[in-house]
Amino acid sequence: MKKIEAIIKPFKLDDVKNALSGIGIQGLTVSEVQGFGRQKGHTEVYRGAEYKVDFVPKTKLEILVDDGMVSQVVDTLTEAAKTGKIGDGKIFIYPVDDAIRIRTGERGVDAL
C-alpha cells in the first residue's frame, strides 16, 4: 500500500476528483493548506500600506492505494492538475504499514 499526497491548485480539485473517480478511486481526503515553492505569493494593500503575502493557498489530497495502482493514479493526477504554469504543485509517495476500517476491523487493502 502507498499513500499518494498531492499539493495542487485549489481550482483544479474538481477536475482531479472527477479524473480519479474515473479510474475507480473510491475515496480521498482533502485539506486546505498554505505554503510556498517556486511560485511566490501576492501583494495586498490596506490604506496604502503594501503587504507581501508569501504563502499561497493550495489544496492537499491524500489517497491510499494498492501498490499496483500507483503509477496510474500519478499519471491521472498529473494530467488533471496540470496547467503548465508555475505553481501547479507536487506529488509525494509514501509507504503505508497498514490500514484499518474502524466499522468492521478489516485490515490492509480490504480496508481501502
Partner 1 sequence: MGTLDTGDTAWMLISTALVMFMTPGLALFYGGLVRSKNVLSTIMHSFIMLGIGTIVWVLVGYSLAFGPDKFGLIGDLSMFGLKGVGMAPAEGSTIPEILFMAFQMMFAIITPALITGAFAERMKFSSYAVFMVAWLVLVYSPVAHWVWGGGWIMQLGALDFAGGTVVHINAAVAALVAAIVIGKRKGFGKEAMHPHNLPMTILGAAILWFGWFGFNAGSALAANGLAAIAFVVTHIATAMGALGWILAEKLKTGKPTTLGAASGAVAGLVAITPAAGFVGPIASIAIGFIAGILCYLAVGLKFKLGYDDSLDVVGVHGVGGIVGAILTGVFATVAINEAGANGLLYGGMDLFVKQLIAIGATIGYSFIMSFIILKAIKAVMGLRVSEEEEINGLDLSLHSENGYALGGFSSGTLEHTVAATQTAPSFAVKTAPASE
- The answer to whether 37 contacts partner 1 (rule: CB under 8 A) is no
C-alpha cell, 85: 504554469
Q: How many of the chain's residues bind partner 1 (CB under 8 A)?
A: 23
The verdict on 100 binding partner 1 (CB under 8 A) reads: no
| Range 34-41, long-range pairs (CB < 8 A, 24+ positions) | 34/58, 35/7, 37/87, 37/90, 38/86, 38/87, 39/86, 39/87
Task: Please identify, among the stretches 20-28, 36-44, 89-97, 102-110, the one whose residues bind partner 1 according to the rule CB under 8 A.
Answer: 36-44
Using CB under 8 A, list all residues that contact partner 1: 11, 14, 34, 39-56, 86-87
